[in-house]
């Protein structure tokens, strides 16, 4: 018995982030559209052939994207918001939708389920007529076919597409379901002519959130229809990140060919297999979003269990989700102990084919036997490593559990107001200033020992000086040092902590051309020395304005890392909270009065299933509070979250009890703030007044309007003024005028008040 193999989706950014480079060069006008297209084609080809050579039976087509596959789906459906219609050039229009341009703001962007991947939120309204634009799919299909790739076409499923869309005229997103189904039906009819048998994968991760009666009905309608368009087209509905039991019960009664289920993050899926009948099971057994070696013995027994319900020839062995969420390959990593424990995208392909070959085999070949044995040995050695279990840390985890600050908010804020003496509508930024080419060069030269520690320090300090001087000149109220020493807000801390491993090439796409290199938390976490104090102390010495220190919160470090699976996440979070707690004390001792603890990724750690939320909220809140629990009443704790959906978590935000929270609101207007008002939220808030994801510089008038609109919702005494998020991805040419305009706008408003 050999299972067939299937990969939900693959990396698109490339082994060496080739796509990132090409995109950024194209945006800067350094390469032509032809050159960009050529890079894209080369990457697609390489990615297909890599999967084919690894022996994968069904390989994704249309998982490539210049920016984001939700955006691609919007284009395929011609769901182009009116403000982009006057842009004739298709690619320019596409990038304008993604990034905005001088004339039009971008579409909203938000996080894809509980990952750090961002998608663009499609905008629908009654004016938009959905019509098929199959160009991209067709081109990529033909490219693959010419290469002899046995492919399946990836599409965002209609329900996920709509559930993640928003309407701009208060119609209901699901009003558009018939229209979306019409377009998809037409597409499938076309696809039916492209080959004798084409598999189409509809990604429907939204189904893992649970399926109520209305959704069940939509699910049934959609796939009754899509799965019966043509004999030549077989439809797979793929779910991931959790179990999809409710959806399975509906889907098995439709004519779909296959159903994809995640057995790594949705173990409960096992319970619905009896209902499968003759359907094909696409069984996600290889973790598509974490980087640990597969535990073959566990997988093999899982697979045996699956075959109790479903015949082996009806099973495709698959990744639990798209490999978009893991780095490309460990091949380019330097040797290290931890490297031996890792499997990235390419290695996961090999794991898949290995498992598919050995499952249920009575006798393994010598090679297979050796591989299995080697894997057992590596995993056993890992378990007994000292770095994994540190008894001092384990002891502190039992006794150092306090979470409360010494005073209540209403008392703290009075003390802080006196101590800080800020004007109304205090202005600040979120932490980072532009990461210039020179900065990156300096950091990398330092890493490679090409420049001395002293030289490195001098250059970083020079940059901090520039940031301070600029803030002084612009007239901001609360300063930041600019984060020049940080490549990434999580990586920076991880590098200073024990228990973390850093890859050299472990890049994962976050949005568009932006990639992150998540640290690997493999062992118990401790910190040998203070991590930020010297930089902040230096920056504070250069100004009389309060310098806000920047820390990354425990939950964000956790959610943006690849985390060990041999300890509960709540325990890893506790270890992080304890090291941050020490850092807060150290900063305070160094005379720092404001400390921002970023929790940019607080929300993406939320379980997708409602019944699992309470537990997460409980330990996430406790560990944030624990991290700042040693802050004195006069030390002002800020936190920052960069997204705009707070409806469901407003109670939790309140429980965090940060003195000030800065949030993203520029793309979503005032709706968000109303939630805070309606909730009678008392602590201070800095709702972002302009979108930093776009290079566009907002004018002073525009900013004034934004600030005034915030004032319609919340009292002036509660409000701060700041951009949506950190400025590191922007250029100084954009940042300078934008912040100057922001401060000027505030000054006018103060005068008016
Ligand atoms: N302090 C960080 C910065 O300014 C916050 C980044 C974020 O929220 N993603 O870059
Ligand atoms: Zn942010």
Q: Read off the pLDDT of residues 677-686 as tens digits, 9 standing for 90 and up.
A: 999 999 999 9
| Ligand 1 cavity residues, CB under 6 Å | 430-432, 483, 489, 550, 598, 600, 640, 642, 725-726, 728
What's the average model confidence in pLDDT over 89-96? 98
Task: Identify which ligand lies nearest to the alpha carbon of 431.
Answer: 1
**Cα–ligand 1 centroid distance for 665 (angstroms):** 15
Testing ligand 1's pocket by substitution, the residue of 118, 430, 476 carrying the most ligand atoms inside 8 A of its CB is 430
User: pLDDT at position 541, please?
Assistant: 98
3-state secondary structure of 548: strand
**Cα–ligand 1 centroid distance for 723 (angstroms):** 11
**Cα–ligand 1 centroid distance for 644 (angstroms):** 15
Testing ligand 1's pocket by substitution, the residue of 493, 723, 726 carrying the most ligand atoms inside 8 A of its CB is 726
Ligand 1 atom showing the smallest separation from residue 432 Cα: 4
For the cut 70, the answer to whether the pLDDT of residue 1 exceeds it is: no
DSSP string, 350-400: HHHHHHHHHTT-SS--HHHHHHHHHHHHHHHHHHT-GGG--HHHHHHHHH-
What's the average model confidence in pLDDT over 263-291? 95
What's the average model confidence in pLDDT over 53-74? 98
Give the number of other CB atoms < 10 A from CB of residue 670: 16
Which residue spans within 195-349 are E strands per DSSP?
198-203, 233-238, 258-262, 280-286, 315-319
Binning pLDDT at 50, 70 and 90, where does residue 596 land? very high
Ligand 1 atom showing the smallest separation from residue 726 Cα: 4
CB-based contact 192:153 (threshold 8 Å): no
User: pLDDT at position 360, please?
Assistant: 77
The packing angle between helices 569-589 and 391-399, to 10°, is: 80
**Cα–ligand 1 centroid distance for 430 (angstroms):** 6
Q: What are the catalytic residues?
A: 693
Testing ligand 1's pocket by substitution, the residue of 109, 428, 431 carrying the most ligand atoms inside 8 A of its CB is 431
Ligand 1 atom showing the smallest separation from residue 725 Cα: 8
Nearest Cα residue to atom 5 of ligand 1 = 726
pLDDT tens-digit readout, 515-548: 989 999 999 999 989 999 999 999 999 999 999 9
**Cα–ligand 2 centroid distance for 486 (angstroms):** 15
pLDDT tens-digit readout, 643-667: 767 888 999 999 999 999 999 988 7
Q: CA 659, CA 723: separation in Å to the nearest integer?
A: 18
Ligand 1 atom showing the smallest separation from residue 430 Cα: 4
Write out the H or E segment, with its range, that includes residue 300: helix 296-309
How many C-alpha atoms does 525 have within 13 Å on its Cβ side? 32
**Residues of the chain with pLDDT > 70: what percent?**
100
Q: CA 208, CA 206: separation in Å to the nearest integer?
A: 5
Q: CA 77, CA 186: separation in Å to the nearest integer?
A: 11
**Residues of the chain with pLDDT > 90: what percent?**
92
CB-based contact 240:320 (threshold 8 Å): yes
pLDDT tens-digit readout, 152-179: 999 999 999 999 999 999 999 999 999 9
**Cα–ligand 1 centroid distance for 701 (angstroms):** 26
Nearest Cα residue to atom 3 of ligand 1 = 726
User: pLDDT at position 614, please?
Assistant: 96
- How long, in residues, is the chain? 753
What's the average model confidence in pLDDT over 733-738? 98
Testing ligand 1's pocket by substitution, the residue of 480, 600, 663, 665 carrying the most ligand atoms inside 8 A of its CB is 600
pLDDT tens-digit readout, 283-306: 999 999 999 999 999 999 999 999
Ligand 1 atom showing the smallest separation from residue 431 Cα: 4
Binning pLDDT at 50, 70 and 90, where does residue 384 land? confident
Nearest Cα residue to atom 8 of ligand 1 = 600
DSSP string, 572-640: HHHHHHHHHHHHHHHHHHTT--EEEEE-TTTGGGS-SSGGGHHHHHHHHHHHHHHHHTT--TTSEEEEE
Arithmetic mean of pLDDT over the chain: 96
CA angle 55, 56, 61 (to 5 degrees): 135
User: pLDDT at position 420, please?
Assistant: 98
For the cut 90, the answer to whether the pLDDT of residue 670 exceeds it is: no
Q: Which of 445-449, 484-488, 665-669 has the lowest mean pLDDT?
A: 665-669
Q: CA 37, CA 18: separation in Å to the nearest integer?
A: 12
**Cα–ligand 2 centroid distance for 479 (angstroms):** 16
What's the average model confidence in pLDDT over 422-440? 97
Q: Is 196 exposed, middle or buried (0-12, 13-18, 19+ CB in 10 A)?
A: exposed
Nearest Cα residue to atom 9 of ligand 1 = 600
Nearest Cα residue to atom 1 of ligand 1 = 431
What's the average model confidence in pLDDT over 416-427? 98
For the cut 90, the answer to whether the pLDDT of residue 553 exceeds it is: yes
Going by C-beta distance under 8 Å and a sequence separation of 6 or more, which residues neighbour residue 615? Answer: 607
Q: CA 235, CA 251: separation in Å to the nearest integer?
A: 11
Binning pLDDT at 50, 70 and 90, where does residue 386 land? confident
């Amino acid at each position: 018995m050999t299972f067939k193999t299937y990969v939900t989706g693959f990396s698109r950014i490339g082994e060496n982030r080739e796509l990132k480079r090409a995109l950024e060069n194209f945006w800067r006008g350094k390469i032509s559209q032809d050159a960009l297209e050529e890079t894209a084609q080369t990457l697609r080809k390489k990615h297909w052939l890599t999967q084919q050579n690894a022996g994968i039976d069904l390989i994704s087509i249309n998982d490539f994207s210049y920016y984001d596959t939700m955006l691609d789906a919007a284009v395929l459906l011609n769901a182009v918001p009116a403000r982009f219609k006057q842009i004739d050039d298709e690619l320019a229009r596409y990038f304008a939708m993604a990034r905005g341009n001088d004339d039009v703001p971008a579409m909203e962007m938000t996080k894809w389920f509980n990952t750090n991947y961002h998608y663009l939120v499609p905008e629908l309204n009654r004016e938009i007529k959905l019509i098929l634009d199959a160009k991209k799919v067709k081109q990529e299909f033909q490219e693959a076919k010419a290469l002899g790739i046995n492919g399946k076409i990836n599409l965002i499923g209609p329900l996920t597409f709509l559930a993640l869309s928003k309407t701009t005229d208060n119609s209901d997103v699901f009003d558009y379901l018939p229209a979306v189904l019409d377009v998809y039906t037409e597409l499938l009819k076309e696809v039916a002519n492209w080959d004798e048998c084409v598999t189409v994968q509809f990604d429907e991760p939204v189904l893992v959130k649970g399926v109520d009666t209305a959704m069940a009905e939509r699910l049934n309608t959609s796939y009754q229809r899509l799965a019966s368009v043509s004999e030549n087209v077989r439809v797979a509905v793929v779910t991931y990140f959790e179990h999809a039991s409710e959806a399975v019960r509906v889907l098995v009664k439709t004519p779909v060919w296959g159903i994809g289920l995640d057995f790594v993050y949705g173990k409960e899926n096992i319970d619905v297999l009896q209902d499968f009948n003759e359907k094909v099971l696409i069984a996600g057994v290889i973790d598509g979003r974490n980087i640990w070696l597969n535990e073959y013995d566990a997988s093999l027994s899982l697979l045996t269990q699956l075959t109790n319900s479903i015949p082996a020839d009806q099973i495709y062995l698959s990744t639990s989700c798209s490999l978009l969420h893991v780095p490309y390959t460990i091949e380019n990593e330097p040797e290290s102990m931890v490297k031996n424990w890792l499997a990235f995208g390419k290695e996961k392909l090999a794991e898949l084919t290995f498992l598919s070959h050995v499952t249920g085999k009575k006798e393994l070949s010598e090679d297979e036997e050796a591989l299995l044995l080697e894997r057992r040995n590596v995993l056993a050695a890992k378990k007994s490593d000292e770095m994994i279990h540190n008894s001092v840390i384990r002891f502190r985890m039992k006794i150092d559990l306090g979470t409360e600050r010494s005073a209540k908010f209403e008392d703290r804020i009075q003390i802080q107001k006196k101590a800080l003496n800020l004007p109304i509508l205090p202005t600040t930024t979120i932490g980072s200033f532009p990461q210039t080419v020179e900065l990156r060069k300096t950091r990398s030269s330092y890493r490679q020992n090409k420049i001395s520690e002293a030289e490195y320090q001098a250059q970083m300090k020079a940059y901090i000086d520039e940031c301070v001087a600029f803030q002084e000149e612009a007239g901001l109220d609360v300063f930041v040092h600019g984060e020049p020493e940080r490549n990434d807000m999580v990586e920076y801390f991880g590098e200073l902590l024990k228990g973390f491993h850093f890859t050299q090439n472990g890049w994962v796409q976050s949005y568009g051309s932006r990639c992150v290199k998540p640290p690997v938390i493999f062992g118990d976490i401790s910190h040998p020395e203070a991590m930020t104090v010297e930089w902040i102390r230096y920056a504070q010495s250069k100004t009389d304005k309060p310098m806000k220190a920047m820390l990354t919160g425990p939950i964000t470090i956790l959610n943006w890392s690849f985390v060990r699976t041999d300890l509960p996440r709540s325990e890893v979070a506790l270890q992080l909270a304890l090291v941050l707690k020490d850092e807060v004390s150290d900063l305070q001792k160094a005379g720092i009065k404001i400390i921002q603890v970023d929790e940019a990724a607080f929300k993406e750690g939320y379980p997708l299933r409602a019944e699992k939320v309470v537990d997460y909220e409980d330990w996430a809140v406790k560990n944030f509070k624990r991290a700042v629990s040693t802050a004195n009443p006069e030390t002002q704790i800020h936190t920052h979250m960069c997204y705009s959906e707070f409806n469901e978590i407003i109670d939790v935000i309140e429980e965090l009890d940060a003195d000030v929270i800065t949030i993203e609101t520029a793309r979503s207007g005032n709706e968000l703030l109303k939630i805070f008002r309606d909730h009678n939220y008392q602590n201070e808030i800095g709702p972002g007044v302009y979108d930093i994801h776009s290079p566009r510089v907002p004018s002073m008038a525009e900013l004034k309007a934004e600030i005034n609109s915030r004032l319609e919702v919340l009292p002036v005494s509660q409000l701060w003024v700041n951009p949506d998020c950190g400025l590191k991805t922007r250029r100084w040419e954009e940042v300078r005028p934008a912040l100057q305009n922001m401060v000027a706008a505030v000054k006018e408003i103060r005068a008016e008040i």
